[in-house]
Structures are given as structure tokens and as C-alpha cells.
Structure 1
Amino acid sequence: MEVPTLDPVRDYAHRVAMYDMDRTITRSGTYSGFLMHVARRRQQWRLLLLPLVALAGAAYSLRLIDRSRLKAINLRLLVGKSFNRAEIAPLAESYADQVIARGVHAAALDQIAADRAAGYRVLLATASFHLYVDAIARRLGIDDVLATRLDAPDGADHIHARLAGDNCYGAAKFARIGEWLADNAITREDAHIRAYSDHVSDHPMLGFADEAVATTPSRALKKLAPQRGWAVVDWRQKT
């Protein structure tokens, strides 16, 4: 994608490029892959619980549970009710290596590099768990990360399979972005913002941006993007 030229009249104090992760930077979702990666390498007997994972998915499809509850249930089934961060950390690192090696769009990496070269501060905002997203972000050279947090009431190293706060998705993600901007003393009028996502749930973030890009978009976003004047790109075309 050709990088748009900024308004030459305006001297922006801040430039921010906001990226979703799953199916935007990565070729597919990472959440289920992470759970399977951990189960296979840590406690293979948990794979016997996959029918219960499927049952939880069916309950979500029927709207009997919400997305946050689904994620917590699957984490509990395939990783455990509680676990030590130090025990999972090596698996998060090996999973991040796997994702970077063969699971990212080359065009996404090019765009991140182009945004950095243009002076943008890159923010990764995703509904996936900090538990492994931080490892992926480090490999992408991204320091600013907003992701779904897990409960650690007994200390930072002891984690429970339940969410701490909202799932970082849709409107909740956008609220986290607003908090991040405030924490970093970035006001909207003094910032030029780019946003990239594949999914229509990110329409609040895309609508907030000066330049919004629907990247390899879902059907709903592909339909919405032209109506809102957002660019559409297919990052699968570059190998």
C-alpha cells in the first residue's frame, strides 16, 4: 500500500499508527493456536477436553455466553484454572517464534516499517492475551501494546483463567485506546492517526483515524469501508 502524504500545512505533535493483530498483521487468529501450543507441550491430556471447547463454542454461537466468558472457559480447559507466568512464558516465546516465522503478512511488516520511517509511533491493539501478545510484539519491535489482561490477584506470577477487566475488543478496545492516548499526553487535535484492521468490530478505531485502512477485510468490513471512505487492501497478495 502506498503511504498517504500528510497535510504539509499541519505540523503534528504526534503521529500514531494503530494496528489490530489477528488477521491484520497475522495470517490467522492466534488465540486458539496459542492454547493448542501450550496444551500439546505442557499437558497433552488436556486435548481430551477439546469436545468441551467445542461445546463452549456452540454456546457462544447460540449467545448463551459472551466472548469474554468463552475465552476464559477455553483458557481454563486447555491451560488450567490457574498457572504460573514463569511456567507459561517459555511457551509464549516459542509460540511467538512460530507466528513470526510463518504466520504474518509480509505486506503488514512492510507497512509497519513504512509508518516508523514516516515518524509514527506504532500501537498494537488486540483482543488477544498479553500473556503471549507481548512476546509477538517484541519480535515486531512494537513497544506500545493494548491487549486483554488476565487476573493475577496473588501476585504478578500467579495467573487465573479469568479476564481482568473487559475483553479488549470493539468498543472496549477503543476505550483502552482513549486511555492510552491520555496516559501519553496525546490530544486528538495534535495527532495524526492511522488505523489498520481486518474486522468490522474495529469500526470505532477506524472511524477515529485520519487514515483508516481495511486490511484483507472481513465481509462486513469490506462492505462498510467504501461507505466510510476507508482504503481497502489485500495483504495476502504479497508473499
Structure 2
Amino acid sequence: MRIAIYDLDNTLTRRATFTPFLIFAARRIALWRLALLPVWVAMMIAYRAGLYDRTTLKTGGMKLMVGKVGIATLQDVGREFADRRVADDGLMPATLALLEEDRRQGARIAIATAAFEFYAAAFAKHLDIDTVIGTRWDGRSIVGGNCYGETKLARVRAWAAEQNHQLEDAEFRFVSDSFADAPLLDLAYEPIFISASSRKREKAKARGWRIISAD
């Protein structure tokens, strides 16, 4: 069984999606929230300083820039956001070539991302990918943890088990730009690391991962 799993931000997309989504959603839902952007920037600086974790940061970002909005509305805004990004040449050509290769070989394809599922699913639809394993939002909080690092590995394992597959027994390709995905990259039969940074590419090469330049 061939399984191919892709990260979203900076892997299938050329750039990260969360902050751009927050800005896009604020414009569509509550324009006045754009005045709070300096607060969001301060929150990101505090996160980088180690004052809180990613789950706290993302939860705070949603509450600050989006507010209490139903999932149906978020899905609608997410589709518009993805449509705009894709139309604006927002997908990564090198990764799209891998995706077509996986399709030709009959792979079971999924996206596994820390991005919220309500908009990651819209990118997946553009790419004709049915399965999205992402961070879940219930309108107030993140459910089941941020889909990142070891949590992403656990979520991918659970998905594979539902399909009656074990990742260790599969011809498993995993593609990502992030060292946070090292648990999945190290597990994969074919780990692929994509980056425009020569320093990161050298570090990934030292771990035995296949390297693709995002230049």
C-alpha cells in the first residue's frame, strides 16, 4: 500500500496561512478587528519568547481577530480565502509535481497540517484531496490539541489504523517543510523535506531526508 501525506503551509502552499487567514477573516467578518493586529503581533512575539504554547497562541488569535463565529461561516470564509490564495499563484510547483507522481502511482493521499481543518479542507478540494487531518476548532477552542509535532503523528497513526494500515508496513511518503514534523519524516519510507533555506536543507540532509528546494 502506498500512502502519501503532505503538510500544507510552505509545502503545498508557498507561504504560511494562519496570520493571512486571520486578516482575511477579520476583513470579511468584523472589519474593526483589523485595529487589533498590533496585539496579534505582540502575541506572536510573546510566543517566540516562550511565554505560552502554540495552542494558546492560535486560540488567542481566533478569539482576537475572528471572534465568536459559527463553523459554517468559517468554512465559507475559508473557501473564499483558499480560492484567493490558489488564484494568486499560492501553491508550490515542486510539491504539486510530487502530488501528480503519487496519483499516477495510485497512492492514498492525505494532508496532515497544523492549520485549521475548516480552511485546510478548501485547499484540499482545489487539490482533489479527500482526506484532511488538521487542527479542529469548535467555535471557542481547539479540540484534541494543535495538530503539530507528536500530536500530528498520533492523528496520522489513528487515521491509518482506521484504514486498516500500519505506517511502518506501508510505502509511506511524507512531505513537509518543518522540523516539527521530524517524528513523521523519520518514520516515513520516503521522507521529503522542502525548503528555500540552504541551512535547513543541509540539516535535513544530515538526517537522511530527501531534499527539494522551494526556490
Q: Which band: TM-score by shorter chain?
A: over 0.9
Identity of aligned residues (%): 38
* CA distance in structure 2 between the aligned counterparts of 1:34 and 1:106, rounded to whole angstroms: 22
Cα separation, 2, equivalents of 1:83 and 1:31: 17
2:136 to 139, 146, 149: 149
Alignment gaps of 5+ in structure 2? none
1:198, 1:217 within 8 Å by CA — same for their partners in 2?
no
Structure 1 CA distance for aligned equivalents of residues 19 and 64 of structure 2: 12
Superposed counterparts of 1:67-106, under 5 Å: 67-80=54-67, 82-101=68-87, 102-106=89-93
Q: Which residue of 2 aligns with 1:130?
A: 117
2:162 to 183, 205, 208: 183
Asked whether the equivalents of residues 124 and 142 of structure 1 are also in contact (C-alpha less than 8 Å), the reply is yes
- By how many angstroms is 1:229 displaced? 1.7
Change (3 A) 1:167 1:121: same
> Conserved in 2, the CA contact under 8 Å of 1:68 and 1:166?
yes
- Contact preservation (8 Å) 1:166, 1:172: yes
Bigger Rg, which one: 1
Please, which of 35, 39, 44 is the counterpart of residue 22 of structure 2?
35
TM-score (structure 2 length as normaliser): 0.94
Give the CA deviation at 1:213.
0.9
Q: Aligned letter for 2:91?
A: V
Q: Could you tell me how far apart the structure 1 residues matched to 2:161 and 2:55 are?
A: 26
Deviation readout 1:89-138 (Å, 9 max, x if unpaired)? 32111111012222111221121011110111111000000111111111
After TM superposition, give the deviation of residue 221 of structure 1 in Å: 4.1
Report if aligned partners of 1:200, 1:220 keep a CA contact under 8 Å in 2.
no
Name the CA shift for 1:220/1:205 in 2 (closer, same or farther; >3 Å).
farther
Following the alignment from structure 1 to structure 2, what is the Cα–Cα distance between the partners of residues 142 and 126?
A: 13
Q: Is 1:24 the equivalent of 2:24? A: no
Alpha-carbon distance, 1:217 to partner: 5.6
- Alpha-carbon offset, residue 51 of structure 1: 1.7
SS at 1:149 equivalent: strand
Q: Alignment partner of 1:113: what SS? A: helix
Tell me which amino acid in the other structure corresponds to 2:154.
A
Counterpart contact for 1:15–1:193, Cα < 8 Å: yes
1:229 corresponding residue in structure 2: 208
TM-score by length of 1: 0.85
Shift of 1:79: 0.4
Match of 2:126 in 1: 139
